Structure 1
Amino acid sequence: MIPHSFIVSPLRLWLCIVIALCFSSVNANLWAETERMPDLQQWRKLCGLYEVATAYMKDVYAKVTIFAPTDDVFTYNPDIRALSQREVLSHMVDTQVIEIGQGKKWEKQTLIRSTINSGYIYITQFENNPGNFSYYANAGMICNHVSNQWGIISGEQYLYKICTPIGHRPYPGTALSFIRDTDKTVFMDRQYNNNELTEMREILNRVPDIALVIFGSSAWNGFHTFFLPTDAAFAKVIDRNRIDREVMLAHVTGVNRVLFTYPWLYDGGLHYYPSIRFSSNIIEDNFKLKISMRNITDRRTGRWDLYVVSEVYERYANFRRGAVWAKILVPNIPVQNGVVHIIDNVLGIVSQTIDQIVMENPKSRVLMRYMNTIGQIVRNYLSATGGLVTFFAPYDYAFEMIPEQIERRMLRDRIWLEQVLKLHIVPAKELVSDEITNETIVNTVDNMRQLYFVKGEWPKNNITYYVIGGGIRTAIIQDNVAATNGIIHYVERVLGVPYQSLWEILKNESDCQVSFKMLENLQLRYSLDPWQVLTPEQNFTFFIPTDLAWQKVSPYLRNRMNDGHHWLALQYVYKRHIIQGQALMYTDLRERTYVMMNDEKVVIRRRGRYFELYWPRGNVVARVIEGGEIAGINGFMHKIDNILIYEPDLHADAPSDGISWLTLLCTISAPFIFRWRLVRLFLVIAFVHSQFPEFLERFLSPKYS
């Protein structure tokens, strides 16, 4: 029988449940939640220093959203540990940001929410692929997706982990007050100041409408991204009268486009944001002049620099077609009406020639030294103001990749050096990247050689442009740099100067991998990759069949060539595609007959704008693919769309296995046999015995079935 003391009435049970829920709700706060999270201990310790921050973390009824840096952020950025209470509160939003966990595309790419300290935080969404999104709070990447915790919810509170710093400490005023501020104490213990913005201050004083309405805008007018040039940037402008209201507005993005460096870089620089146009007291987006952010990585050190790029799609007013690149010196300074980035160049305005821009670029010192070696022959094209040119300027590390023996020869041979530099110049043309397609072909200054282009897209929407000249293909790293007399594209290779052997190049040619796999097992590969270069015996002109060319060969013949028993025949076929002792570039090809490496004759003839190979004995024609020229330190390769091959090649340089003993028997018995009919019979039997297995294999193959 149950004692009466153990019997609980329904009313008493209900009161116990209510009391338990009250106690559990009191304990269920973010302060208690973070205590159990090993990667948020530094954030919890920082909040514990300030009463207001701790109170919000413990108050379960406060409808807040907290963006908490993980311990790794504090480890790699120790200065964050010294944040003041006001700066800690800038990580806390006074509303619930539930949009992050919904997993759907926002109508606005950037959400603007007020923080507890009366500032603003900017939450950005980027779509990686359909249905997969990444989120950023200012410059901090929200990393809850790593642990599948899209929001740590406790009562009315939300908490999101961020795995990169959200940016510099926020400035308490607007962009205009940031420029005009003369109180040095405001910038104490900060990684930025406004000491180098005096020119910007004077210009804004001359245009009070732009200064007050845009740079000093409030939340009612909208939020922007401000790019502020330093005094040194304004010193580069030759004609100061060209700096007007339109130029100032080119440094401000459209309304409610608040863009920090880290999320913008994640965007890949693919989205171009319009700048501000200010007319009739109405703020509009200027779609003629657009802004993007790019990064350029140094291939030697792995360090990368941030740039903002203002690009004009059509000429208007004082703006030229092309892009102006400005390096971001101090990024991500949050202000009350957006974010500020300090840059080293004035956007939108172009006042220097190609020669002046290249000469001032610290990554083009070696290029200038090479151009000065041959005098003013090349620099006249780049400094003249009468005509437009497009210049493909190699970076310094492009020259460092040239082998030493090639570099010595180029410095001794001034004529060759001049030809190499002229190969990088396209006269009478402003060639911007929007005009480049896979069919684009342009003539260079010497009017003999041409440049070809490839528009690559990998991964999706990440477009890279390649230029091919003199047998060298190089990527365009910094494109569309505008000058008063043309356009500059910075590239990572020197056109016309080889730096690898033909065998090393063949390894990386994606459309010639079938030929590479075949040559890997042949002795011919050692001729293509010699120890000694720049000697006549080691020079080759190799007409390399592409993968599509091998698909035109019958499966029977292709399989027999690769069965391991006909490697001598396969090598004999490849020698039919090689001219030994001559390195012929595309412009050196002539209509004549050449003796190939296997001592056979092949005719090179022109058909319209193309060259083709004609092999008379096999009656086979292979077209030389235009733009498929590749230069190596021991010759040139030209891609062709067919193979000079036929079935009798299977017996080239390959002794027959079945004829040996019968032929030997006939040879020994011939002097002793007086009946010549018997001799002929023995020879017929030997021939049939040797050819029957191959005939049977061909008869049973799918081709003849």
Structure 2
Amino acid sequence: MMAMKLIATLVLLISIGESHTKTLLEKLQDDPDLSQFADLLERDGAAKSALDYRSATIFAPTNQAFQRYPDMKANIQYHITNTPNKLESLKSVIITDMDGNPPIYISRKRSPHGEEIYVNNAMILKSRSNVELKNKYGKRQVLHVIDDILVPLTTNQGSNEIYNPDALQFLTNANIFNIGSHRVRSFHQRVVYSKRESLFQADGYHTFFIPVEEGFKPPPRPELIDKKVIDGHVIPNHVIFTSSATLDHPFETEAFEDNLKVTATFFTQNDGKSAKTYVKSNTVIGDAKHTAGVVLAEVVLGNIPVKNGVVHLIHRPLMVVDTTVAKFLESFKEKEDGPLFKFYEVIMDVGGEFMQAINNMKEVTLFAPSNEAWNRPEVRNILANKQKMREILNLHLVSDRYSAEKIRSNNNQIIQIPTNVDKKFLYFNVLNNGDNKTITVEGGGVNATIIQSDIAATNGFVHIIDHVLGVPYTSVLEKLQTDPMLNDTLWLGTRNRFNEQLNGTTARYTYFVPSNRAWKSLDNEIPSTYKKLFMPEFSYHANSILERHLIVSNRVYTMSDLKNMSIATDTLILQTVRDQLKIRISEHDRRYSITWNNKKINVFRSDVICTNGIIHVIDHPFIEEKDVIIPLNGATKNVYQLPSLITSVLLIASTYFLI
């Protein structure tokens, strides 16, 4: 009897528990961070009814998402689908409950923290998602929390409704959709003229870039929009929203074929306050009508979902190269969030000579520092020095065309590129990282990385770099540590702590630094000396050799200083850390050379300015065969000046006695 009562009690408790199982709406209402969405859902009769009677997946934005758009009227039914889908079963395209059943798009992106999942432009907060509940009819319902509001394409009030348009319907009827003041009439006309309507109504799911009306100025730009250019505005078979885009990844466009290859890439520009999204077309292989190079366009209104993908409105057409380098810079005059706005601002502040210099050049390559580069404290400290800034600006200017591909393919041949500053050159290094080939450029002692390459102009190229050239921000030691061309000298100086002094701030260093090639040259000439010098057990020799290359003083010596000092005397005597360095300085074709011990040594890079000194990169070390010998067991380590014959005898004798 007692057992039957106990069972009855348990059944009652279970039934009470089941009767109080939370519904999905109650779950939303109980979460203080989802209260705004819950309130809108409860007041939407159709959406609430759908939850009462059938299965569903709900994508619920957080309150913070709503606060970013205080005036937006969210469409609740665009956040609801009629099938219950947990994260692992989300398909790439899902039909929503909104009128016309427009789709939402699911994309997955790898990140350092694992896989990220996006629905349109909103990221799914995985730790708060995959909540599975049932309504009173036992229908499964799944809740996913997202960090942004899903925004469908809607029409203006009073317009004839067009439910779920494809990209062509959007382009044809753009004036009736809620896209602000943007108009796309000129691009639509070119699509019709080129008979490419089918591209925008194609089945499947694609990404479409549509330039707005303002981007068709000045003429004759509209006439340059031909069939291939239009094809370059479509990424087939990929639906890419800006938040989920894999940045700096080139996607093949419809204009990627045998004789013309055009890619499109998303990237962002952060001005410290907000981030702007840009797309760039890269005509990797051009033809007679389509110039090779990159064209940048700002996404002025992105993430417009359509039946066959997503549309991004951009501020100008892609692929079209019809402005000079100077005109390209001037385009940032009114764009404070543009990627080169601060560079243009500095140019205008210093004076018009720099722009005049660009205009006077038939062919131009400009290495333009990014906005972030101008924010570094060491750069801000010299902005008021107009004379210095003029020289710095001209250090970024080359009177010839150098594309990234030309730099990469000729990396072994292009030794120095003269700049618009007399006797100042740029030096390049290509770093291979798998398929990526990063290009670094050095000028005035500063090493910068090209972060946006090959922006094409009618008279040349613009490359955006991450540092201002000519404004040092590293010590002599830091320069050695960050320049791959100086790795061997860095390694030699590390073993016996020689390098530690090079970070000092109380003295000034003039350092003649042999390049990696210089040491390789020594290996070819005197292999035994090279081998001994780089053997760890004989590292004390390295210190002695490096001391011959280092001057510690209360000033630095540029190559121009040394040349002027040598005018009055045939041989210039410099006091190094080790001893006296006797040299002669000569100059030919704006390049310096040093004669030491009757050997002519070229100065590969002169006047690499550092915060505590200066480096001159030389193509052969100051070293002779007699400088490095292996002493007998127990002998002093300071045997440097023995003749080569005696050295050989000692080596043979040492080997004999060891046997």
Alignment TM-score, normalising by the size of structure 1: 0.66
Correspondences of 1:115-194 after superposition (within 5 Å): 115-117=96-98, 118-128=101-111, 132-144=114-126, 146=127, 150=130, 152=132, 154=134, 156-167=140-151, 172=163, 173-181=165-173, 187=178, 192-194=179-181
Query: C-alpha distance in 2, partners of 1:411/1:615?
Result: 36
Please, which of 40, 47, 53 is the counterpart of residue 53 of structure 1? 47
Does the CA-based 8 Å contact 1:448-1:587 persist in structure 2?
Answer: no
Indicate yes or no: 2:469 matched with 1:495. yes
Query: C-alpha distance in 2, partners of 1:342/1:45?
Result: 33
**2:302 aligned counterpart, secondary structure:** strand
Deviation at 1:234, TM superposition (A): 0.3
Indicate yes or no: 2:264 matched with 1:291. yes
Which residue pairs with 2:646 in the alignment?
A: none
- 2:510 is matched by which residue type in structure 1? F
Which residue pairs with 1:315 in the alignment?
A: 286
* Cα deviation code 1:368-403 (max 9, x no counterpart): 66573368444322xx3xxx5433233466567565
Query: C-alpha distance in 2, partners of 1:422/1:483?
Result: 20
Query: C-alpha distance in 1, partners of 2:292/2:454?
Result: 9
Tell me the matched-pair count.
578
Deviation at 1:295, TM superposition (A): 1.1
Query: C-alpha distance in 2, partners of 1:457/1:503?
Result: 24
- 1:114 is matched by which residue type in structure 2? I
Which residue pairs with 1:101 in the alignment?
A: 88
**1:261 aligned counterpart, secondary structure:** coil
Deviation at 1:116, TM superposition (A): 1.2
**1:328 aligned counterpart, secondary structure:** strand
Bigger Cα displacement from structure 2, 285-294 vs 548-557 = 548-557
* Cα deviation code 1:582-639 (max 9, x no counterpart): 1238998999875243342266999xxx9999998xxxx9x99967974225433548
Which residue pairs with 1:351 in the alignment?
A: 322
Query: C-alpha distance in 1, partners of 2:30/2:366?
Result: 60
Does the CA-based 8 Å contact 1:471-1:631 persist in structure 2?
Answer: yes
Query: C-alpha distance in 2, partners of 1:151/1:586?
Result: 74
Which residue pairs with 1:244 in the alignment?
A: 226
Does the CA-based 8 Å contact 1:515-1:545 persist in structure 2?
Answer: no
**1:441 aligned counterpart, secondary structure:** coil
Query: C-alpha distance in 2, partners of 1:27/1:263?
Result: 36
Please, which of 58, 67, 78 is the counterpart of residue 66 of structure 1? 58
Does the CA-based 8 Å contact 2:204-2:308 persist in structure 1?
Answer: yes
Correspondences of 1:542-691 after superposition (within 5 Å): 542-543=512-513, 575-579=547-551, 581-584=556-559, 595-598=574-577, 599-601=579-581, 630-632=608-610, 634-636=613-615, 638=617
Indicate yes or no: 2:305 matched with 1:334. yes
Does the CA-based 8 Å contact 1:584-1:636 persist in structure 2?
Answer: no
Deviation at 1:71, TM superposition (A): 3.3
Deviation at 1:359, TM superposition (A): 2.8
**2:183 aligned counterpart, secondary structure:** coil
Deviation at 1:346, TM superposition (A): 1.0
**1:158 aligned counterpart, secondary structure:** strand
Q: Taking structure 1 as reference, are residues 434 and 303 closer, same or farther at Cα in structure 2, changes over 3 Å only?
A: farther
**2:244 aligned counterpart, secondary structure:** helix
Which residue pairs with 2:25 in the alignment?
A: 31
Indicate yes or no: 2:37 matched with 1:43. yes
Deviation at 1:260, TM superposition (A): 0.6
Please, which of 203, 207, 211 is the counterpart of residue 229 of structure 1? 211
- 2:549 is matched by which residue type in structure 1? H
- 1:214 is matched by which residue type in structure 2? L
Query: C-alpha distance in 2, partners of 1:76/1:47?
Result: 19
- 2:209 is matched by which residue type in structure 1? F
**1:296 aligned counterpart, secondary structure:** strand
Does the CA-based 8 Å contact 2:255-2:261 persist in structure 1?
Answer: no
Indicate yes or no: 2:242 matched with 1:261. yes
Query: C-alpha distance in 1, partners of 2:514/2:171?
Result: 62
* Cα deviation code 1:301-330 (max 9, x no counterpart): 353321111111111352111111101111
Indicate yes or no: 2:428 matched with 1:453. yes
Deviation at 1:138, TM superposition (A): 0.4
Q: Taking structure 1 as reference, are residues 584 and 210 closer, same or farther at Cα in structure 2, changes over 3 Å only?
A: same
Q: Taking structure 1 as reference, are residues 588 and 73 closer, same or farther at Cα in structure 2, changes over 3 Å only?
A: farther
- 2:213 is matched by which residue type in structure 1? D
Query: C-alpha distance in 1, partners of 2:300/2:94?
Result: 27
Query: C-alpha distance in 2, partners of 1:632/1:178?
Result: 56
Query: C-alpha distance in 1, partners of 2:310/2:386?
Result: 49
**2:209 aligned counterpart, secondary structure:** strand
Q: Taking structure 1 as reference, are residues 624 and 52 closer, same or farther at Cα in structure 2, changes over 3 Å only?
A: farther
Query: C-alpha distance in 2, partners of 1:650/1:268?
Result: 56
Query: C-alpha distance in 1, partners of 2:270/2:276?
Result: 7
Query: C-alpha distance in 1, partners of 2:19/2:411?
Result: 65
Q: Taking structure 1 as reference, are residues 329 and 403 closer, same or farther at Cα in structure 2, changes over 3 Å only?
A: closer
Query: C-alpha distance in 2, partners of 1:629/1:333?
Result: 53
**1:44 aligned counterpart, secondary structure:** helix
Query: C-alpha distance in 2, partners of 1:22/1:508?
Result: 70
Deviation at 1:461, TM superposition (A): 7.4
**1:90 aligned counterpart, secondary structure:** helix
Does the CA-based 8 Å contact 1:576-1:597 persist in structure 2?
Answer: yes
Please, which of 352, 361, 366 is the counterpart of residue 372 of structure 1? 352
Does the CA-based 8 Å contact 2:80-2:97 persist in structure 1?
Answer: yes
Does the CA-based 8 Å contact 1:42-1:74 persist in structure 2?
Answer: yes
Query: C-alpha distance in 2, partners of 1:375/1:492?
Result: 21
* Cα deviation code 1:270-313 (max 9, x no counterpart): 24232368xxxxxx999722211111233xx3533211111111
Which residue pairs with 1:476 in the alignment?
A: 450
Query: C-alpha distance in 1, partners of 2:354/2:562?
Result: 24
Deviation at 1:56, TM superposition (A): 3.2
Which residue pairs with 1:655 in the alignment?
A: none
- 1:116 is matched by which residue type in structure 2? D
Which residue pairs with 1:274 in the alignment?
A: 253
* Cα deviation code 1:331-355 (max 9, x no counterpart): 2122333222221111111111222
* Cα deviation code 1:74-126 (max 9, x no counterpart): 3444445x32xxx211112233445x326xxx9xxx81221111111010112
Does the CA-based 8 Å contact 2:367-2:463 persist in structure 1?
Answer: yes
Query: C-alpha distance in 2, partners of 1:389/1:421?
Result: 12
Does the CA-based 8 Å contact 1:270-1:462 persist in structure 2?
Answer: no
Deviation at 1:140, TM superposition (A): 0.7
Query: C-alpha distance in 1, partners of 2:262/2:298?
Result: 18
Which residue pairs with 1:281 in the alignment?
A: none
Q: Which runs of 5+ in 1 are unaligned?
A: 278-283, 531-537, 562-568, 653-703
Deviation at 1:553, TM superposition (A): 5.7
**1:24 aligned counterpart, secondary structure:** helix
Compute the RMSD of aligned alpha carbons.
5.2
Query: C-alpha distance in 2, partners of 1:95/1:353?
Result: 54
Does the CA-based 8 Å contact 2:404-2:453 persist in structure 1?
Answer: no
**1:73 aligned counterpart, secondary structure:** helix
**1:200 aligned counterpart, secondary structure:** helix
Correspondences of 1:418-457 after superposition (within 5 Å): 421=394, 424-425=397-398, 427-432=400-405, 435=408, 439=412, 441=414, 443-445=416-418, 450-456=425-431
Query: C-alpha distance in 2, partners of 1:348/1:464?
Result: 23
**1:203 aligned counterpart, secondary structure:** helix
Does the CA-based 8 Å contact 1:593-1:603 persist in structure 2?
Answer: yes
Identity over aligned pairs, percent: 22
Which residue pairs with 2:332 in the alignment?
A: 361
- 2:234 is matched by which residue type in structure 1? V
